[in-house]
Structure 1
Amino acid sequence: MIAAVIDLGTNTFHLVIAKITADGIQVIYKTNLPVKLGEGRINDNIIIPEAYARGLQALQGFNREIEKYQVDVVKAIATSAIRSAANGSNFVNSAKSDAGIDIEVITGDKEAEYIFKGVKATGAIKGTCLIMDIGGGSTEFIICNPDGLHWKKSYDIGAARLMQAYFHSDPISDKDQSAIRDHLDKELGTLKTACNTYRPTQLIGSAGAFETFAGMLDQQLDLNKISTADIDLQNYHTLSKNLIASTHAEREQMPDLISLRVDMIVIAAIITDYVLEASGINSISLSTYDLKMGVLQAISESETS
């Protein structure tokens, strides 16, 4: 069968089309568009008209690709920006009427489950791990080992939310950084408790910002050809320090840093630094598989069960 998964993220809409057989999942087409659905007023829980229009236009283009590939099953998954927006249900209705796409709005817990399925498929989970997926609207954390999932939680501390609320200087000031860390202190108490209980020894970053970190640290790395990679912790800390200290203009000139992440990568680095410090973890790796591959895994399991 041919399956398509659409991930309607806060910053980026993704489309993946794959052939699912008894032998596994073969991706035959993928694309993404920087829709920036959370632009401007994500913390007011509103999708502004410009972002709303970009989102529908992206879905119309995705639907043309879905028809071209004669897809059998389509799963369109909406996460933080749409589930928290006052006009999110309007967007879901417009997607159906204007683009022919049925959207499923999932909870943060369900999002974490799909992320776990995606990361697990890479084989990256060796011991007790903390998986982190930094989105634009929310960030998901999963504690797991090769046998299964122990704990999961989604927090509304996505990079776009924190950037709009706290990133008011260029480069980001010590005051802004402190405000972010204070906010993380208030929000992530249950994560710290879970880390103290389960003692994860490895942080696995799911796609997104972690692909940027890995690509900037190793410019020979072909992210399209790998599912997982180790990230040298000392080199990461050097990169993080440089990103946080840099101006917007300086980051624009950095290789392997896409324009969509020029500012949000600073927030991602601050969150990652905080989590590494709070958890005491001293090993970090990348999973290029995330929610999208997790949804494909779930489709595959339902077909073969």
Structure 2
Amino acid sequence: MVDETQTRAGSAPAERSSRPDSARPENGRGDSARPCSGPETPRGREEAPRARDEHRGREDGRRREGASAHHHSSHLSHNRPGEGGRSRFHDQSYAALDLGTNNCRLLIARPTASGFRVVDAFSRIVRLGEGLIGTGRLGEAAMTRAVDALAVCAAKINARRIAGGRLIATEACRSAANGAEFIDRVARETGLELEIVDRETEARLAAAGCTPLVDPHSDGAVLFDIGGGSTEVVWLDRVETCDGGPPAAIIRAWVSVPLGVVTVAERHGGVKVTPDDFEAMVQEFRPHLDAFVAAVGPHNCGRLHLLGTSGTVTTIAGVHLDLPRYDRSQVDGTWLVAEQVRVVVDRLLAMPFAERAANPCIGIERADLVLAGCAILEAVRRAFPCDRLRVADRGLREGILVELMRADGVWRDNPGA
């Protein structure tokens, strides 16, 4: 396998982030303690597909990798905010879609005084990257599953007045030989114009979405986003903004590793995983972090904490809490110490596949992937043996939403949004 790991070091602010901890969503239930983004739409609660959506910003020839949010984003074209003061955002929404190797996720939100309120959400496991590691191409069945999910997203987007949006695709489409062809198919069949973003953009958006959960009393956080086909690790600080909106991220260094839960599970197996299999997964991932650790330089892990955003860490939190069903309001923002993480991982490793599949915080669709994610997490923990881990049920989509809203000046120009 060609090592496509990318590592960068620097201190430039990312200038984009998600809401601070105090900026809770308004979900109509008076749940003021709920963290910032709204819940995922439960599986099965889907709207009938509609096949068109309007966009702008599509480049001639469509790049296989995007650049910045301003130059290569797939913004939705209708109902951009205009003049008119506070009322201009009253019924305007923003859309953020993330098509990954494993999941298709959508958030639609409206600005609030210091953040945003989620008004609709959708999530479906599509396994777009299934078999990609062996063939180098997206499979027909996988593409059909993804297109079906994206048609639901198109219906949800078309049902609202969208001020702006960004629709991104990540590692599966980046690495597949037919990734660009698939993007064309999506445009034809759903009307959605997806943008294949590069790894630096993916790392930045993850940082933007998770910055509010960085402990302001620490020296920073090591953020990791374990995806289906790639994993981003970011050394992250946070600074308060002057526009009344969410804090901004400062990225000191980042690395993108072309390994995620789907690729690792397909290579090593995910149904019956022995301790030796698990250690082999850890050892495959661990060397990819060496350059990143060197770029970070000397550091005191006692003054840092880990910050994880992925199905892996939210699953670990849900299992640790013994939730009868997954509950985002209890998981997002949860703190775990190293020993609690170790106990849960050992518990998952000892579970037969059927028991993992029956666990309400895992389910049959992720039962063969969760241990691959735990192995990637273990590799990160060995590279950065911090005692504290904060769990984030938020990420790329929240980062997209804040970038769009900040670019439109919703907090600067409209403090009462």
Q: TM-score, normalised by structure 2?
A: 0.69
What amino acid is the match of 2:117?
Answer: Q
Name the SS for the 1:101 alignment partner. coil
Alignment correspondent of 1:167 = 269
Give ranges in structure 2 of 5+ residues lacking alignment: 1-91, 240-249, 413-417
Alignment correspondent of 1:9 = 100
Q: Residues 107 and 297 (structure 1 numbering): CA distance in 2 closer, same or farther, change over 3 Å?
A: same
Percent of aligned positions that are identical: 25
Match for 2:290 among 175, 181, 189?
189
Distance 1:189 1:86 in 2: 29
Q: Does the aligned pair in 2 maintain the 1:276–1:282 contact within 8 Å? A: no
What amino acid is the match of 2:390?
Answer: S
Q: Residues 177 and 217 (structure 1 numbering): CA distance in 2 closer, same or farther, change over 3 Å?
A: closer
Name the SS for the 1:150 alignment partner. strand
What amino acid is the match of 2:312?
Answer: A
What amino acid is the match of 1:177?
Answer: F
Q: Does the aligned pair in 2 maintain the 1:143–1:198 contact within 8 Å? A: no
Task: Determine if the alignment matches structure 1 residue 217 to structure 2 residue 320.
Answer: yes
Q: Residues 158 and 143 (structure 1 numbering): CA distance in 2 closer, same or farther, change over 3 Å?
A: same
Alignment correspondent of 1:179 = 280
The structural deviation recorded for 1:68 is 0.9
Q: Does the aligned pair in 1 maintain the 2:214–2:307 contact within 8 Å? A: no
Q: Does the aligned pair in 2 maintain the 1:19–1:26 contact within 8 Å? A: yes
Distance 1:42 1:50 in 2: 15
What amino acid is the match of 2:224?
Answer: M
Give ranges in structure 1 of 5+ residues lacking alignment: none
Give runs of aligned pairs for residues 137-148 of structure 1, distance below 5 A.
Answer: 137-147=229-239, 148=250
Corresponding residue pairs, total: 304
Superposed CA offset, 1:148-184 (max 9, x none): 210111111101011111127x531344234323322
Task: Determine if the alignment matches structure 1 residue 204 to structure 2 residue 296.
Answer: no
Q: For structure 1, which segment, 40-49 or 147-156, has the greater mean C-alpha deviation from structure 2 after superposition?
A: 40-49
Distance 2:287 2:402 in 1: 34
Distance 1:24 1:99 in 2: 30
Match for 2:122 among 23, 31, 56?
31
Distance 1:261 1:267 in 2: 10
Report 1 or 2 for greater relative contact order, CA contacts < 8 Å, sequence distance ≥ 6: 2
Distance 1:193 1:15 in 2: 36
Distance 2:276 2:312 in 1: 23
Alignment correspondent of 1:247 = 352
Q: For structure 1, which segment, 77-86 or 122-131, has the greater mean C-alpha deviation from structure 2 after superposition?
A: 122-131
Distance 1:184 1:207 in 2: 17
Alignment correspondent of 1:294 = 399
Alignment correspondent of 2:371 = 266
Q: Does the aligned pair in 2 maintain the 1:42–1:137 contact within 8 Å? A: no
The structural deviation recorded for 1:261 is 1.8
Q: Residues 77 and 66 (structure 1 numbering): CA distance in 2 closer, same or farther, change over 3 Å?
A: same
